[in-house]
């Protein structure tokens, strides 16, 4: 993964066999650095978390690695190695260059063209179908977790990768990390049922989040805004403005698909 190129000047992180070069992303759970494998010269991304092993976040971090290794797909970021003995623990992943969907919209200063949306989200949908085939749920599909790569597919089309599996709900939930009755995810993108109990959501919650992300890409705006409480009310009770009422040249078929994905009742979403 790659989003920026901040200068690396912190010697606190040491990864045996790798040379860290620069900070590429930073968030609430930790930091991601670009690094070089000293033996092969392969460029990788190294993700660190700040909590020590044994904390709930560290357990979720380990689950992210095991799920990425199990769910292998060309449109999903790859994981190579995990070390839970290090302080802090780290995950070595595939390094890709590009922009997140959020950055892509900022770069063009507006919504994405309908043709680009079709190409990008067909690949995201393929990644999600593979995740769901493995009986897992991503639970955090959003614009900042979809990377539009600088490289293209074999057919010359734009290529994407789905990233950040920190909230994934695996097929084997014998040791759940999400308490029953607790919401989890990014409120602006969460399905109504995810606010009620994130531990029980299924693939249909990802489809709702996909619809929110497509809506944002197509119109330049999220369908619901405000505080977490206001967002929750919007997801439960408000009807989104039809995308073509915001951007007139959105095709009717894209209009229908987005609104179908945004059905409040999971049973009414695409199956």
| pLDDT value at residue 158 | 87
| pLDDT value at residue 119 | 94
In whole angstroms, give the CA distance from residue 17 to residue 35: 10
Model confidence at 22, pLDDT cuts 50, 70, 90, reads very high
Sign of CA dihedral 206, 28, 216, 190: positive
Using one digit for the tens of pLDDT, what is the confidence trace for 153-189? Answer: 777 788 999 999 988 998 655 555 444 545 678 999 9
- Tell me whether the omega of the peptide bond preceding residue 248 falls within 30 degrees of 0, making it cis: no
Among 140, 164, 197, 255, the one annotated catalytic: 140
| pLDDT value at residue 53 | 47
Query: Under a CB-based contact definition with an 8 Å cutoff, are residues 5 and 24 in contact?
Result: yes
* 37: annotated active-site residue: no
On the question of pLDDT at 215 being above 90, the answer is: yes
| pLDDT value at residue 183 | 61
Report residue 133 as tokens. 């085939």
Mean pLDDT over 8-32 rounds to 80
Using one digit for the tens of pLDDT, what is the confidence trace for 32-91? Answer: 999 999 999 999 999 988 655 456 667 777 888 989 999 999 999 999 999 888 878 899
Report residue 158 as tokens. 């734009």
Which region among 14-28, 124-138, 237-251 has the lowest average model confidence (pLDDT)?
Answer: 14-28
């Amino acid at each position: 993964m790659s989003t920026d190129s901040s200068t690396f000047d912190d010697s606190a992180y040491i990864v045996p066999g790798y040379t860290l070069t620069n900070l590429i992303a930073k968030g609430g759970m930790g930091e991601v650095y670009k690094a070089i494998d000293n033996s092969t010269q392969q460029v990788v991304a190294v993700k660190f978390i700040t909590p020590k092993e044994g904390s709930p976040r560290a357990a979720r971090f380990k689950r992210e690695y095991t799920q990425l290794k199990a769910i292998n797909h060309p449109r999903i970021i790859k994981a190579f190695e995990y070390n839970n003995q290090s302080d802090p623990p780290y995950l070595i992943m595939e390094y890709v260059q590009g922009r997140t969907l959020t950055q892509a919209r900022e770069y063009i200063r507006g919504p994405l063209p309908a043709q680009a949306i079709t190409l990008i989200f067909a690949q995201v949908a393929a990644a999600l179908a593979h995740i769901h085939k493995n009986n897992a749920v991503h639970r955090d599909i959003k614009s900042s977790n979809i990377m539009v790569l600088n490289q293209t597919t074999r057919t010359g089309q734009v290529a994407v990768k789905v990233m950040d599996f920190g909230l994934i709900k695996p097929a084997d939930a014998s040791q759940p990390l999400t308490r029953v009755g607790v919401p989890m995810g990014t409120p602006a993108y969460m399905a109504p049922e995810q606010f009620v109990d994130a531990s029980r959501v299924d693939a249909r919650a990802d489809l709702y989040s996909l619809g929110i992300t497509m809506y944002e890409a197509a119109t330049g705006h999220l369908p619901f805004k405000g505080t977490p409480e206001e967002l929750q009310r919007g997801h439960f009770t408000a009807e989104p403005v039809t995308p073509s009422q915001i951007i007139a040249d959105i095709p009717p078929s894209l209009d229908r698909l987005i609104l179908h994905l945004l059905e409040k009742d999971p049973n009414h979403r695409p199956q």
